[in-house]
Amino acid sequence: PGVYSGEITSFGLTHGQFFMLVAIMEEEGLLPSELATKTAQDRATTTGLLDRLENDGWIERRMDKKDRRSLRIFLTHRGIEHRDQIMKLFAETNQQFLNRFSQQEWDQMQSFLCRLEQ
């Protein structure tokens, strides 16, 4: 994602924050532990990323209506306002990554991943 580093930082985000924000934009209302799993981060890293995103006005933590001990993660007005731009940048970044591999390489990787799952 080197080409997009400038665009990511123009939002005031690190790469880690960018990908965490994308995960939230894909599915709001998750628990921090669910976001940690979704982004393959440990809980401490996830908490740090969420703290920074909250401090910078991208997200907010809201009390779970069913379990008052839990906080769920939602976009703020700022996050909603920039959702289309950020998701477009994410799609472009993914496409740039995918274009590095031939179809044969993708098929081979899929085969390896299937074997790992068994």
CATH of the domain at 35: 1.10.10.10
Percentage above 90 pLDDT, the chain = 64
Q: 32-39 vs 15-26: helix axis angle to the nearest 10?
A: 110
Question: What pTM was computed for the model?
Answer: 0.83
pLDDT at 55 > cutoff 90: yes
Task: Say how many domains are in the chain.
Answer: 1
- Residue range of the domain that includes 96: 2-117
Question: Cα–Cα distances in Å, from 82 out to 6, 23, 34, 85, 94?
Answer: 16, 14, 23, 5, 18
Could you read off the pLDDT of 79-97 as tens digits, one per residue?
Answer: 999 999 999 999 988 888 8
